[in-house]
Amino acid sequence: MSHVEEHLQSLGYTLPEAPAAAGNYLPYRISSNQLFLSGVLAMKHGRISPTGKVGGPLSVEDGQEAARTCALNALANIKAALGSLDRVSQFIMVNGYVNGVDGFARSPQVINGASDFLVEVFGDVGKHARAAVTVAGLPGDSAVELQIVVEFV
């Protein structure tokens, strides 16, 4: 098991199965030393959870938990792509989409659930540039979707 994956387990997390694509596309593409991941949802045990709108039925804390779940699914895709999480040299960019009520302005607080997790697991390697926006809807009504680009060796 890789060093990063051991650390992940010591923090109490287990890598899920890499999520299946929800359409005729790939979970990732590699160009040069950059790995482009497809959008990942808040998938738990094969079901999206939580679903619904942050700032309405869901709290910011619910959204943070969803963002962390998305990030964990992204790690499963990274492992599937690279064989080991240890090959990540840096997280380049995280685009965080929050399924929020109209006018929801706290997308950064929600996406911090993913950002804090990535830094907890990867240290400096996990730090990333980021954009967080609130959108009108997400696939399967997922509370959060993340789109991530990483650099690897």
- The correct pick among 16, 36, 44, 80 for binding a second copy (CB under 8 A) is 36
**Half-sphere exposure for 71 (CA within 13 Å, toward CB):** 29
Q: In the 8-state DSSP scheme, what is residue 12?
A: T
Looking at the Cβ atoms of 43 and 97, the one nearer to a second copy is 97
How do 88-99 and 129-135 pair as beta strands?
parallel
Interaction of residue 64 with a second copy, rule CB under 8 A: no
Query: CB under 8 Å to 120, separation ≥6 — which residues?
Result: 11, 126
Looking at the Cβ atoms of 85 and 97, the one nearer to a second copy is 97
- The correct pick among 76, 91, 121, 122 for binding a second copy (CB under 8 A) is 91
Looking at the Cβ atoms of 1 and 97, the one nearer to a second copy is 97
Query: CB under 8 Å to 52, separation ≥6 — which residues?
Result: 58, 99, 141, 143
SS3 state of residue 144: strand
**Residues within window 101-130 making contact with a second copy, judged by CB under 8 A:** 101-109, 111-112, 115-116, 119, 127-130
Distance, CA of 40 to CA of 75 (rounded, Å):
10
Looking at the Cβ atoms of 1 and 24, the one nearer to a second copy is 24
Q: List residues near a second copy by CB under 8 A.
A: 21-29, 31-34, 36-39, 53, 90-95, 97-98, 100-109, 111-112, 115-116, 119, 127-141, 145, 147, 149, 151
